[in-house]
Structure 1
Amino acid sequence: MSGFLFVVPPFAGHVNPTVGVAAELVRRGHRVAWAGPPHAVGPLVGAGATVFPCATPDPGVSSPPWEQRGAAALRSLWEDCLGPLAEAMAPGVRAAVREFRPDVLVADQQALAGGLVADRLGIPWATSATTSAELTALTGTPQLRAWADEWIQGLRRRTGLRESRSDPRRSDRLVLVFTTEALAGPAGHFGPQARLVGPSLAPRPSPGGFPWHRLDDARPTVLITLGTVSGDAGARFLPACAAAVRDRADALQAVIADPSGTVRDTGDGILVLPGVPQLVLLERCSAVLCHGGHNTVCEALWHGLPLVVAPVRYDQPVIASQVVRAGAGLRVRFRHATADRIGTALDTVLGEPRYRAAARRVGESFRAAGGAAAAATHLEHLATRTAAVRARAL
């Protein structure tokens, strides 16, 4: 039996994939715990899970302005969000390691404290890559790579881990990438230590009371969502989506996840809620319109649903390009998306069978990759290899 400590940030899309992997490891008899901000992690991993508390920057993780794009947005993400988060989480991760004594630490690619602490303490660690884009395109320019390397050195100094020498964004032993070549392209692009395991999906807690009776089985249903960290980005976009659906209310209905309260639920083919039971709802949907968040895209494709993707920033343009390249959907420009353009894109992905066929092909590749079970096996192999090395050293 081995012990696995998952270090995760307070972002649902980065915690959810670890839940299925952890459940599989527990089923195989291993010890599992998480280290992260309990207010965000606890509700996602369940009441019976062990969560070692980590702090977040006061008054919470900051978020760069939505108007930033490209390298500027990425630099701001690291400087304003991931760097302060790593500094805040590092003491909690160290305390969790001392108490839990893991054989392997699994660090989310945005929980940089995990890789820093593991390397400093000599603990074998793996990366949980919940979005493939951060492994390739987002660090592709020499200027950005040089800036990032210097920034990481500064982060090491600020966290008191000056002797750490690995890249906390990517383990040199094992990187679990929750996608497949059918969506993300050749596995060789991600490095020899990468293992493309497909999405890790597991039942997750969801609020009750969803008004299922308001869905009309005679009309296709579209899920419209900008994810859990979209802030006020949907102030113009979501009303345009609602208008596009209302124009087609005789042939289409939509469920809009709108935590900001931007769109009114007027009942004319539109159901608006602050949050939705996404995995269950996708079983009733015919298409998804989203921001290009990796988890939402993969969950839609798992269910064989074509997509209309309107990327906002960070990795989302890369994921949107993957969807288009796979033939599983269309991309619209977020800042210039009108009701007419959104409606035309929805008409196309719903009306042309090739988009659904491509989405199903990607979904089939996800299932074949193994998901949580495959990820758990790779982690077991890492634990076994490192244990063997230690035994030979004694």
Structure 2
Amino acid sequence: MTHHALICPPFHSHVRAFEAIGGALLRRGHTVSFLLNAGGGALVEAGGFGVEEVGAVRTPCRSPGRNPAGLFGILRTVRASADRTRALCDGGPAILRRIGAEIVLADQMEPAGGLLAEHLGLPFLSVAAALPIDPHPSLPSPFLGWPYDPSPEGLKRNRGGERVSRLLLHRQREAIQSAAQRFGLRSRSRLEECLSPLATIAQTVPGFDFPRPPSPRHFAVGPFRSTEAVEIGGLVLPFARRPGVPLVFCSLGTLQGHRLSIFHAVARACRRLGWHLVVAHCGRLSVEQAASIDADLVTDFLPQRAMLALADLCVSHGGLNTALDAVEAGVPVLAIPIAYDQPGVAARLLHHGAGLRLARRRLDVDDVVAALRRLHGEPRFAARARAIGAEIRGAGGAERAAELVERFAASASYSRELALA
């Protein structure tokens, strides 16, 4: 059996995804330990994992900043990300040696995973808990809401977006470059230069992603979900649904649930339509703020997949996990992207006809009403969501990811034995 080290950003959605893969590995008899920035251990809910932390707590792990959108918000987010990478590279080598880590599962969004593994001579696999960042000229950055456009004009725009991204990610590039130099590794400065040469395991199935060139190193296995999660079905809502009235579920995720103005706009739109609305703010609103939202139910958390099994439509920030859960349930999505890879998720919903997108700034209730009417009134949106959902259910998820990890771990071990022979 093998000791796996899981390295990911200390954010709820990333830790949950890694917990699901780690749980599958635990059931197979392996040892699994998280290596997280200080404070991140509090996010690990399941038992059986080792948890190691490095550095000092700088910001609450559920929120890297209240306003990550806009230029200054982006720069703050990049600075915080670079600080986390430096802390992991400073304290990680000693910890990974002490616990006897044999293979690393590295989140694509945390370059320290690949840097540490290479430094210690450990095999590692990349895990795309967010949209994959594997580069290709025809694919815009996942942080951009651009459509898929392989024409010469589209390729030119993608190149321009890449140049802008490099400028914005200056702090992160410096952190990568410094760690690589300190570890005696080949020179590098970009996230994609820290990806595994063995494989990337991604949540996004082909039916949800943009067309991606075939690669023997890219495996799309669908959402990483724990088998211990609440079963779909059986959720009882504390209000009586009127026959034939659509039910809308609105969630802005664990990092954006404080966006009260968006909740208000969605609530006013649903009231104008006479539709039911359930809001989950993920603990980011005060009691007074939550009470100001005119919805049938406003709460902190709900079992999301069970909720979506009851819903007709989903309004979301475009978080990947919420979008995948929605289409798995055959529910179209109205995406209102805010930051990170959410614009890219919204662009993919549009590309595949499984949802619509509205801009967050100056969000107009009339526009929300019109979008919800279209999503509910045009059957093609639900049909496309159901088609992607069928692909997700057959992709394998966390169990398939664990199988791949075992396969590549065995292959890497055999290669090392040959080298030493």
Does the pair score TM above 0.5?
yes
Q: Which residue of 1 aligns with 2:163?
A: 143
Where does residue 321 of structure 1 map in the other structure?
347
**Given the alignment of the two structures, is residue 197 of structure 1 paired with residue 227 of structure 2, yes or no?**
no
Task: Show the counterpart of 1:84.
Answer: 83
State the secondary structure of the residue aligned to 2:302: coil
Cα distance in structure 1, aligned partners of 2:240 and 2:93: 48
Partner of 2:28: 28
Residues 234-253 of structure 1 aligned to structure 2 (within 5 Å): 234-249=259-274, 251-253=275-277
Q: What are the residue-to-residue correspondences of 1:288-367 with 2, within 5 Å?
A: 288-367=314-393
Identity of aligned residues (%): 25
- Whether the 8 Å contact between 1:57 and 1:85 is mirrored in structure 2 is no
Distance 1:284 1:54, change over 3 A: farther
Q: CA deviation at 1:354?
A: 1.1
Contact 1:54 1:90 in 2 (8 A): no
TM-score, structure 2 as length reference: 0.82
SS at match of 1:128: strand
Offset at 1:309?
A: 0.4
Task: Give the C-alpha shift of residue 92 in structure 1.
Answer: 4.3
What stretches of structure 1 of length at least 5 have no aligned partner? none
One-letter code aligned to 1:238 = F
Distance 2:66 2:133 in 1: 17
Q: CA deviation at 1:43?
A: 4.3
Identify the range of structure 1 (323-332 vs 138-147) with the bigger mean alpha-carbon deviation: 138-147
Q: Distance in 2 between matches of 1:54 and 1:327?
A: 43
Which blocks of at least 5 consecutive residues in structure 2 are unaligned? Answer: 143-157
Q: 1:96 to 1:181 in 2, by over 3 A?
A: same
Does residue 99 (structure 1) correspond to residue 98 (structure 2)? The answer is yes
Match of 2:117 in 1: 118
Q: Say if 1:57 and 1:87 are closer, same or farther in 2 by CA, change over 3 A.
A: farther
The size of the alignment, in residue pairs, is 385
C-alpha deviation, 1:179, in angstroms: 0.8
Residue 306 of structure 1 aligns with an amino acid whose one-letter code is: P
Check whether the contact 2:15–2:43 (CA below 8 A) recurs between aligned residues: no
Taking structure 1 as reference, are residues 388 and 149 closer, same or farther at Cα in structure 2, changes over 3 Å only?
Answer: farther
The equivalent residue for 2:239 is 214
Kindly indicate whether residue 173 of structure 2 is the aligned counterpart of residue 152 of structure 1: yes
Pair 1:326–1:320, CA change in 2 (3 A): same
Q: Which runs of 4+ in 1 moved over 6 A?
A: none
- Deviation per CA, 1:203-237: give whole Å up to 9, x if none: 5678xxx97323527343222111111264x1322
More displaced 10-residue stretch of structure 1: 125-134 or 256-265: 256-265
Q: 1:95, 1:162 → 2: CA distance? A: 13
Counterpart CA distance in 2 for 1:199 and 1:185 is 17
Per-residue deviation, 1:336: 2.8
Distance 1:158 1:24, change over 3 A: closer
Please give the alpha-carbon distance, in whole angstroms, between the structure 1 residues aligned to 2:242 and 2:198. 48
SS at 1:354's partner residue?
helix
Query: Superposition RMSD on alpha carbons, in Å?
Result: 2.9
Could you tell me how far 1:352 is from its partner in structure 2?
A: 1.9
Partner of 1:163 in structure 2? 184
Displacement of 1:311 in angstroms is: 0.9
- Which segment is superposed worse, 367-376 or 131-140? 131-140
Amino acid at match of 1:367: R
| 2:97 aligned partner, one-letter code | R
| Cα distance change of structure 1 residues 155 and 365 upon mapping to structure 2, 3 Å threshold | same
Shift of 1:390: 1.1
TM-score by length of 1: 0.87
C-alpha contact (below 8 Å) 2:268/2:294 kept by paired residues: no
Relative to structure 1, is the Cα distance of residues 144 and 264 closer, same or farther in structure 2, using a 3 angstrom cutoff? closer
Could you tell me which residue of structure 2 aligns to residue 68 of structure 1? 70
Q: Report the Cα distance in structure 1 between the residues aligned to 2:368 and 2:171, rounded to whole angstroms.
A: 41
